[in-house]
Amino acid sequence: MTSTKYIGMDVHKESISIAVRNDAGKLVMECVIETKANVIPDFIHGLRGELQVTFEEGTWATWLYDLLKPHVTKLVVCDPRKNSRQGNKNDRIDARELADRFVPSGSRRSPRQECSAVPNFITNNSRP
C-alpha cells in the first residue's frame, strides 16, 4: 500500500521551508533545505510514497518546476494572490498552509480551487 505525501514548499533564494503531510493531513515532517539543484532531489528521494508538491509562483518557480517534475507524482504552482493568509506569517507557517491546502478533505477545498496551476507561466518562461 502506497501512502501519499502532500508537500508544501515556501521557496526563497537561499532556502526552502518544507512541510510534509500524510493522507490524514497530519504534519509528519518539517525542515529547511538549501535552494540548490543537488539538495532538492536528494530530499525528495528520501520520501516514500506518492509525492504531491505545491509551491507559489515566484522568481524560482520555473527552475524548481523543471527540477521537481521528473521526481514527483503531481506538481502544482500556486498563484500567491489567491493564497491570502490571516494572522501570523512566516516561512514555516506558509509551507504548512500550502501542504494543508493540498490534502483532500470533505471540509477543505480542492487544490484546484485553492491553487491555480500555471502552465502558461511555465511554458512562456522555460529556459531553452
Per-residue pLDDT of the chain (128 residues; tens, 9 = 90+): 569 999 999 999 999 999 999 988 899 999 999 999 999 999 999 999 999 999 999 998 999 999 999 999 999 998 877 666 665 578 888 898 888 887 876 434 444 444 444 444 444 444 43
| Strand, helix or coil for residue 39 | helix
Torsion angle (degrees, nearest 10) of CA 117, 123, 126, 128? 160
Instruction: Name the residue ranges covered by the structural domains of the chain.
Output: 4-125
Amino acid 1: pLDDT: 54
Nearest to 3 by CA among 21, 17, 18, 22: 22
- Of 2.30.110.10, 1.10.110.30, 3.40.50.1580, 3.30.420.10, the CATH number of 4-125 is 3.30.420.10
Amino acid 78: pLDDT: 87
Amino acid 128: pLDDT: 39
What's the N-to-C CA distance of the chain in angstroms? 39
CA distances to 75, 77, 123, 124 from 119, rounded to whole Å, are 11, 9, 6, 8
Amino acid 124: pLDDT: 41
Q: How far apart are CA 96 and CA 73, in angstroms?
A: 19
Place of cell 483532500: 104
Residues 6+ apart with CB under 8 A from 74: 50, 51, 52, 53
Amino acid 100: pLDDT: 85
- Say if residues 59 and 13 touch (Cβ distance below 8 Å): yes
